A and B are shown apart, each in its own frame.
Chain A
Amino acid sequence: MLDDLDNDRRSFLKCMAWAGTGALFAFDGGVGSSIGLDAALASPLRRSAVKPFTFVQLSDSHIGFNKPPNADARATFREAIAKVKALPQQPDFVIHTGDVSQLSRDNEFDDAEQMLKELGVPVFYIPGEHDMLDPDGGKAFLNRFGKGSLGSGWYSFDHRGVHFVALVNVADLKPGGMGNLGAEQLKWLAADLAQRPSSTPIVVFAHIPLWTVYADWGWGTDDAAEALKLLARFGSVTVLNGHIHQIAQKVEGRIAFHTARSTAFPQPAPGTAPSPGPLKVPAKQLHDMLGITDAMFVRGHDRIALIDSTLSV
């Protein structure tokens, strides 16, 4: 009972969407919070036995994209990485939520990898549909970024009491459908979660949103409900996605969903354009619509703090 109350308290997620370049996530011994970059470290911690930690989400770098509104997606990715370097507290690691490349070319993957290496922290990748375009349907991505992963690239790891689960919902997509996890991955997820107590904070990341943002544009995952059922018993679940190149947020029960901006180009809000193609904004506006997400996880705080910042200064 006490545990339930605690879980409900923890499950509340508050996100502050600022104009920016990424998300900073901070976790302290199991509870996530996200804070403004300046305010984050100044805020008092209720239980500080475990040092808070942060990680950064980067997404949809589309290295190789060179059409309006962004003639050089490499340059904007480099700017995003510079933003991360300038953070007052360096993140423990970075997650890249897919569409690393535009066309799954080796030089695109390589450039992204080299730029991220400059941060000197581990980077965890999952593929987007643009990373599955080599003749072998994703092998190029997996060979480079998927060491130790299973199936089409899923895996999990633990960091400071938080369980991170990386899911792939861009492989073997079905005609007329949206994102897809597939039976084999769901079976693995059930086994992966089964052994963990409900008090374990969980962060799930996948490319396509795990809730239906807009079905007409395929912005959702057909079998996400089955994954969410497995996650429902946990007190604190944060789901981080990319794909739609804009910030969208939702809290459902104890599960908080968040999509990140792209570092390459913005896409229109659901249904506001004939298609989800690149939003061709004037050059001056572009940097206000690209970003990174910074997350802070603080044990004892009510929420994971997500700070989205744009590439504008």
Chain B
Amino acid sequence: MTRVFKLLSFQVAMLVASGLMMSTVSVMSKAAAAPPAASVQIGNFTFQAPVTTVKAGTTVTWSNGDDIPHTVVSKDGLFKSKVLDTGDRFSFTFAKPGQFGYFCSLHPHMTGTIVVKA
């Protein structure tokens, strides 16, 4: 972007400038799209999006906003976070479609599901 603004400030012809901008934006959006991401907040002893639907290849990040530590543990052993203290995060990339239930191993009444679509 900086480079684009520099070019603009040099008053390069609009056509050239917009062409440059477009190519820059398309490169950037490609970089951002490569790992699709989703997030699940933990608060008040709940996974605040109990069912989250994502596309295959999405990286889901859980963040603990509680004053009490929690964990994110897959019901079928696919993933298991370390203990997440306040503000800590855990990420997992869901490569394949399916339904993936998970829970907090400290407070097992806290449960959630990630639905991964092809």
Contact = CB atoms under 8 A, between A and B. Distances in A.
Interface stretch (B17-25, B33-41, B52-60, B98-106): B98-106
The size class of the interface chain A forms with chain B is 20 to 34
Nearest to A218: B109
A276 B45 contact: yes
Contacts of B111: 175-176
Contacts of B102: 175
A216 interface: yes
B45 A277 contact: yes
Contacts of A67: 67, 86
B107 to A, nearest CB: 6
A122 interface: no
A130 B105 CA distance: 10
Q: Is the interface of A mostly helix, strand, loop or mixed?
A: loop
Contacts of A173: 105-106, 108
B106 A130 contact: yes
B44 A278 contact: no
Contacts of A187: none
B31 to A, nearest CB: 34
Contact of B66 (A132, A133, A215, A277): A277
A224 B106 CA distance: 18
B67 A274 contact: no
B96 interface: no
Given A103-B83, A133-B83, A275 B66 contact: yes
A174 B109 CA distance: 9
Nearest to B44: A275
Contacts of A178: 108-109
Nearest to B112: A175
Interface in B64-109: 66-69, 71, 75, 82-83, 85-86, 101-103, 105-109
Nearest to B83: A133
Given A103-B85, A217-B45, A277-B45, A133 B69 contact: yes
A246 interface: no
Given A216-B109, A275-B46, A176 B68 contact: no
Q: By CB atoms of chain B within 10 A, which of A104, A175, A217 has the most?
A: A175
The size class of the interface chain B forms with chain A is 20 to 34
Contacts of A217: 45, 109
B9 to A, nearest CB: 49
A59 B71 CA distance: 22
Contacts of A68: 67
Given A102-B69, A275-B66, A277-B67, A176 B103 contact: yes
A276 B108 CA distance: 13
A135 B67 contact: no
Given A102-B69, A277-B67, A176 B108 contact: yes
A69 B101 CA distance: 34
In the A-B complex, list the 5 residue pairs whose CB atoms are closest, starting with the nearest. Answer: A275-B44, A175-B103, A218-B109, A275-B45, A173-B108
Interface of B: 43-46, 66-69, 71, 75, 82-83, 85-86, 101-103, 105-109, 111
5 contacts: A103-B83, A129-B106, A176-B109, A274-B44, A275-B43
Given A177-B108, A178-B108, A274-B44, 16 more contacts: A103-B69, A129-B105, A130-B69, A130-B106, A132-B105, A132-B106, A133-B83, A133-B106, A135-B82, A174-B108, A175-B75, A176-B103, A176-B109, A178-B109, A277-B45, A278-B67
